[in-house]
Amino acid sequence: MGYVHPVSASSPAVEIRGLRKQFGEVTAVDGLDLLLPRGEILALLGPNGAGKTTTVEACEGFLRPDAGQVRVLGLDPTADNDRLRARIGVMLQGGGAYPGAKAGEMLALCAAYSADPLDPDWLLDMLGLRENVRTPYRRLSGGQQQRLALACALVGRPELVFLDEPTAGLDAHARILVWELISALRADGVSVLLTTHLLDEAEQLADQIVIIDHGAVVASGTPADLTGAHSQDRLRLVTATAFEASDLAAALGPGYRCERGTGGACTVIGAVTPQLIAEVAAWCAAHDILATEITAAQLSLEEVFLNLTGAEVRA
Ligand SMILES: Nc1ncnc2c1ncn2[C@@H]1O[C@H](COP(=O)(O)OP(=O)(O)OP(=O)(O)O)[C@@H](O)[C@H]1O
């Protein structure tokens, strides 16, 4: 018998150090570190081709890293794959489905692999699939197939689930059902590693967000950490009278710039202090400009993402 990795309930759900993966000339993952503690939800964000799927596949044991260490529930996902299989849930897009099998049969089959499965009927209700129990897989809509894939990943009551874009292509109602289910899993102590292109999804669900670009982490933290740490303070000014943004910037002095935004608003970028608000209001009064809105604002997660990666988040 070979070396058996020590496994303890206190080992993190996922721990990655210095992961590297090359496909020919392409470096898909380039020294990535990541830690998902037990019972938390981690959202992996990144532009197309950033290396999210490659990272998740290395965790699932589908890809062997070129360098670095990956531990999932304290185990090596490639060497200990047999021991991990029953403890993790993987959402496969349409994978392994018999086109003629009925949705309910497929879920029952997945449940049969587990010693202590979740109630398939509860899952079907949670995911709005109750009406489709007898529908053959090939007759399900794309969104229904996707929700069934999620149900199959979860029915075995895994300790950790990998969800690669779980709500891509779902309508708003189905997306909310999936979000509620993921939140219910978390309340049950399940750890979740998800990739998404939807920042509101990451913000709503994740305890921790890791933004990656070119195969490496560019920022990580709670949603509030990320928007807090990467925000420049900004003051939004809307006026009834037009003015030159550069005139206001000159009056405010060094440390401030002014940009014209959408809808005629002007954004003052720099430290937002009570004094700044008073100065902006006084400048407007001195120039007979009626300020209809002066609001202190922080960067949204979308703006933080854009600044860090230079890419639109949408696929
Ligand atoms: N099997 C493969 N063979 C060759 N190149 C690959 C392979 N898998 C991934 N790549 C390349 O590795 C890079 C990272 O791909 P990956 O799928 O991990 O990115 P991603 O962040 O999941 O992107 P997306 O958001 O578009 O799904 C890309 O340049 C991709 O083309």
- In the sheet that holds 257-260, the strands lie side by side as 257-260, 266-269, 234-239, 291-297
Query: Ligand 1 mean position to 49 CA, how many Å?
Result: 5
Decide: 26 in ligand 1 pocket, CB within 6 A.
yes
What does pTM read for this prediction?
A: 0.80
Query: Ligand 1 mean position to 48 CA, how many Å?
Result: 8
Decide: 51 in ligand 1 pocket, CB within 6 A.
yes
Residue identifier of the C-alpha nearest atom 4 of ligand 1? 23
Question: Taking the domains of the chain in order of start, what are their residue ranges?
Answer: 14-87+158-227, 232-297
Residue identifier of the C-alpha nearest atom 2 of ligand 1? 23
Query: Ligand 1 mean position to 167 CA, how many Å?
Result: 19
Query: Rounded to 5 degrees, what are φ and ψ at 134?
Result: -100, 5
- Do the domains 14-87+158-227 and 232-297 sit in the same CATH topology, yes or no? no
Q: Superfamily for 14-87+158-227?
A: P-loop containing nucleotide triphosphate hydrolases (3.40.50.300)
Which listed CATH number (2.60.40, 2.40.128, 3.40.50, 3.30.70) goes with 232-297?
3.30.70
Transcribe 251-303 into DSSP letters: HH-TT-EEEE-GGG-EEEES---HHHHHHHHHHHHHTT--EEEEEEE---HHH
Written as tens digits, the pLDDT of the chain (315 aa) is 333 444 456 799 999 999 999 999 999 999 999 999 999 999 999 999 999 999 999 999 999 999 999 999 999 999 999 999 889 999 876 555 677 889 999 999 889 888 889 999 999 998 999 999 999 988 999 889 989 999 999 999 999 999 989 998 889 988 998 999 899 989 989 999 999 988 889 999 999 999 999 999 999 999 888 887 766 688 989 999 899 999 999 999 999 999 987 677 899 988 888 999 999 999 999 999 999 999 887 777 887 888 788 765 544
